[in-house]
Amino acid sequence: MFEKKEINLAVVEFKSIAKGIYVTDAMLKAANVNLVMSSSLCPGKYLTIVEGETSAVENSLKVADEIGKKHVFSSEIINSINPKVLEAIYGKLDDKIKGSIAIIESMHIASLIRSADEVADAVDIEFTDFRLARGCGVNSFYIYSGELSSVHEGSRVASQYLISNGALLAARVISGPDPEIWKWIKTSMCRC
């Protein structure tokens, strides 16, 4: 789905929809970046993701922090993001569980996306769900599947990153989940 080129992102989560839209406009005007995503989230948040050269995404994030101030809830620069993460954000997900699953949950979207990138770079997994505060209130989460050893290692990598940023809510591994669990996870994959 995505070209094999280096993609650098600035991810900014705002506590205000109005401020988020306003700051997103300023980010686009201040730096040579492309808008990847710009959307309101539950409850009353706004998410902006831009991509471009490293210096451009850094400049756009600087503008977001300067103008957004107290309305910036979380923000991160992610250089050379793994294409699997971008595909998951856009909803291209694996619809079958391969072995075991991990569920990684955080209130900080920018840190959560960065942790997913760390996991995708570290181990062989496939994302099966990736929810950024849509249909699940203030929390965001992703689920991935793979061999048990990879799933455990990915959970360790994600937890370590999120803990270091004070952003981990939960990380759980389920070895060989019951098919009924997957049936209900799959039917709750609302993209609202």
78 has pLDDT over 90 = yes
Confidence of residue 186 (pLDDT cuts 50, 70, 90): low
pTM score = 0.88
Query: Domain spanning 90-187 has what CATH number?
Result: 3.30.70.1710
Neighbour tally for 39: CB within 10 Å: 14
Which residue is it, tokens 């990380």? 171
Which residue is it, tokens 């769900």? 129
Query: Domain spanning 8-78 has what CATH number?
Result: 3.30.70.1710
DSSP E strands, the chain: 8-14, 34-41, 45-52, 72-78, 100-106, 126-131, 140-146, 170-174
70 has pLDDT over 80 = yes
1 has pLDDT over 50 = no
Domains 8-78 and 90-187 share a fold: yes
Spans of all domains in the chain = 8-78, 90-187
Higher pLDDT, 6 or 25: 25
Q: What is the pLDDT of residue 150?
A: 97
Token reading at 159: 């937890």
Residue 188: DSSP 8-state: T
Q: What is the pLDDT of residue 62?
A: 97
Q: What is the pLDDT of residue 134?
A: 63
Confidence of residue 161 (pLDDT cuts 50, 70, 90): very high
Q: Which helix (H) or strand (E) holds 108?
A: none
With CA atoms as reference, report the closest residue to 149 among 116, 111, 121, 175: 175
Confidence of residue 7 (pLDDT cuts 50, 70, 90): very high
Inter-residue contact 95 to 146 (CB < 8 Å)? no
Token reading at 139: 């929390």
